[in-house]
Structure 1
């Protein structure tokens, strides 16, 4: 099968998200004039090591985007399997000013390096300063780039000095309504690394 996106795919559901899978989930915490906000984004990833930088890509002018524009900061917490229902609850469309931390019963803590909330008991959290917000092609597509200014790691997620995604069952997004859990990892050495 081949199709051009502008011509349509002819399938019951768009396969685009299912092709780009699994995707890590950024549980984005922000604070704005209307209060605190927490929302998941699966168009998320790391984009640079030094300095460490990440991106998430909201569709639409949601609270996360507005708050990041307003304050210049955001946090990204990882999502563990045990928090899947709370994460899903925070993905709903709620009126501005709704505190999704409270709505979903998610423990909240203040970040250390930025004036922003984070998921208190997340396996890991990245405290980020906005580097740039780009408007992408299409209707209401944005890319938020941030530099990591602080990193929280939950002690039980460190195994033999390594952050271990299997220790907490890292949650990932697939296509359609699909999710997956990291339960197994394997190591490969790049050529020349010995």
Structure 2
């Protein structure tokens, strides 16, 4: 039994259809940050699409991973196709003010029809990569593909972060590289299609050293004896 008094249910993924697995994992692995990925198409147009199977994997070097998946017929989506050709991409993070246009870029436009031009999304040039970024994104990561891993029909793209564009008002201390995360006003995905969350409701917990943990244990034992 759990602390709430309800029993756990076990789901054997080998016995479930992919759509059923998706609903389960998307419902429990939350909140998920959104990678609004810009890439360059074969004709020079800019592709822009959101992915919530995304995360930061490390910082030395900084590495991001995201899963663009494949189309129903097994062919790569435009983002994966473009990265496979050019090796570069930019991850634009999504503030609440950009949520609606971000959602619109998930529309399955024809390959040669760039989402930024179609939807009026302003772009700014990259510095370390040829791929432009979303000008209004509060933070954008310029990336170079390191490896693409295929596990069945799951495609995971690993990218080394070469540089960061960060809105100035989110820099809390320039010399110490401290970020005022709340100023970014980012959103994330909750569950499956259509559900999002804000990142304003936060709380803090101090990370304890082992010595500090032992001291707290001793204090708790003394209080229990009293």
Match of 1:113 in 2: 128
How big is each residue's C-alpha offset from its partner over 1:2-38, in whole Å with a ceiling of 9 and x where there is no partner?
A: 22123339x8x92220100000000101002132100
Q: Distance in 2 between matches of 1:150 and 1:111?
A: 9
Match of 2:91 in 1: 76
Bigger strand fraction: 1
The equivalences for 1:115-134 within 5 A come to 115-134=130-149
Match of 1:175 among 156, 173, 191: 191
Q: Distance in 1 between matches of 2:88 and 2:122?
A: 20
How many aligned positions are there?
190
Moved over 6 A (4+): none
Shift of 1:160: 5.1
Q: Distance in 1 between matches of 2:179 and 2:39?
A: 25
Match of 2:56 in 1: 46
Q: Distance in 1 between matches of 2:13 and 2:97?
A: 36
Match of 1:189 in 2: 206
How big is each residue's C-alpha offset from its partner over 1:68-111, in whole Å with a ceiling of 9 and x where there is no partner?
A: 11001100010000001000000111110121112222111111
Does the CA contact (< 8 Å) of 1:166 and 1:184 recur in 2? Answer: no
Task: Give SS of 2:108's match.
Answer: coil
Does the CA contact (< 8 Å) of 1:86 and 1:105 recur in 2? Answer: no
Bigger helix fraction: 2
TM-score of the pair, normalised by structure 2 = 0.78
Does the CA contact (< 8 Å) of 1:166 and 1:185 recur in 2? Answer: no
Whether 2:3 is the aligned partner of 1:3: answer: no
The higher radius of gyration belongs to 2
Structure 1: which 5+ runs fail to align? none
Does the CA contact (< 8 Å) of 1:28 and 1:74 recur in 2? Answer: yes
TM-score of the pair, normalised by structure 1 = 0.90
Does the CA contact (< 8 Å) of 1:28 and 1:40 recur in 2? Answer: yes
Whether 2:33 is the aligned partner of 1:17: answer: no
Structure 2: which 5+ runs fail to align? 1-8, 71-75, 213-226
Match of 1:144 in 2: 157
Whether 2:169 is the aligned partner of 1:156: answer: yes
Task: Give SS of 1:133's match.
Answer: strand
